[in-house]
Each structure stands twice: as structure tokens, then as C-alpha cells.
Amino acid sequence: MPNVYRPTAPEPVNPDGRLEEVERFFDRLGVDIRHGGSAAYYVPASDHVQMPPFETFRDAAAYYATLGHECVHWTGHVARMNRDFSRSTQAYAREELVAELGAAFLCADLGLELEPREDHAAYLGHWLEVLKADKRFLFSAAAHAQRAADYLHAHKSDQA
């Protein structure tokens, strides 16, 4: 099951305009980003990121933080960083922690404020289970997240 983030309102609520410099950052990655629907997620089989329309997010920072989270998932694809937790317990929770930490790193790098999302509470219990089972995983997750953020900063698509 892919990570799914649903904005709080289906109608346009975002009073902000797009941020030109942040848009350029994501555009140059060459990620196949599709807009529509009410959920954000990465689909490994088709290697694309699905995002709800920009206007349905609370503000621009919420949109870009979510896009950053999904792009960190994108870095884990076998053709890129080949991040695979499938042999670990709680593989889904491990990948989600990496993606959330990576999104936080990206937001800091891009000058965006990252606010807790509603789905963090649901993930927190899973993250705590992972950390209880593997006390060092927080450091490992942070390292994976930093490598993903570094990859995104260094990656330039020929299409962009």
C-alpha cells in the first residue's frame, strides 16, 4: 500500500501562489509528477508521484513538504538509490520514517516551514515499534534521508 496523504479539504483552500525557486527545484528532478485526485503517493510500478492539486493544500509549504516526502520515496527506486527494507521488520514504517525525515531536510534546505501532518499521529506508533526493535534505526533512517536529500539536490534531469 503506497503512502497516502489526503489534504484536509477537497475544495481550493490554498491562498498562496507557487514559489518559483522551489518549483524550479522540483521541475529539474525529472520526476513524473501527476496531479489529480485527493491523495498523495508514490507508485513504484509506474515510477510516478501522484499529487492532489496545489490549490487543495492548506498553503504552499504543505504542498511542497508533501511533494518532498513523495520525492524521497522516488529516490528509493531500484534505478536510483535502491533503498529496500523488505527484509526488515516493519518495512513500510521504516520507509515512511526515511521519507518524512528526508522531507524535513528538504524543507529546511528550501527555506520552508514543515508542520506536523495529521497522518504523523498514525505513523508515530509504527515508528516507535521500529525504534524499540532497532534502537539504532533512527540514525540509519536519518542517514538514508540525508542521502536521499543529497541525491535530489544533485540530480538534474536532461528533461528539465
In the chain, % of residues over pLDDT 70: 88
pLDDT tens digits, one per residue of 98-136: 999 999 999 999 999 877 767 666 777 788 888 898 889
pLDDT at 158: 61
pTM of the complete model:
0.85
Mean pLDDT of the region 38-59: 95
Helices (H), the chain: 20-27, 60-75, 91-110, 119-133, 137-154
Q: Distance (Å, rounded) from C-alpha 53 to C-alpha 43? A: 17
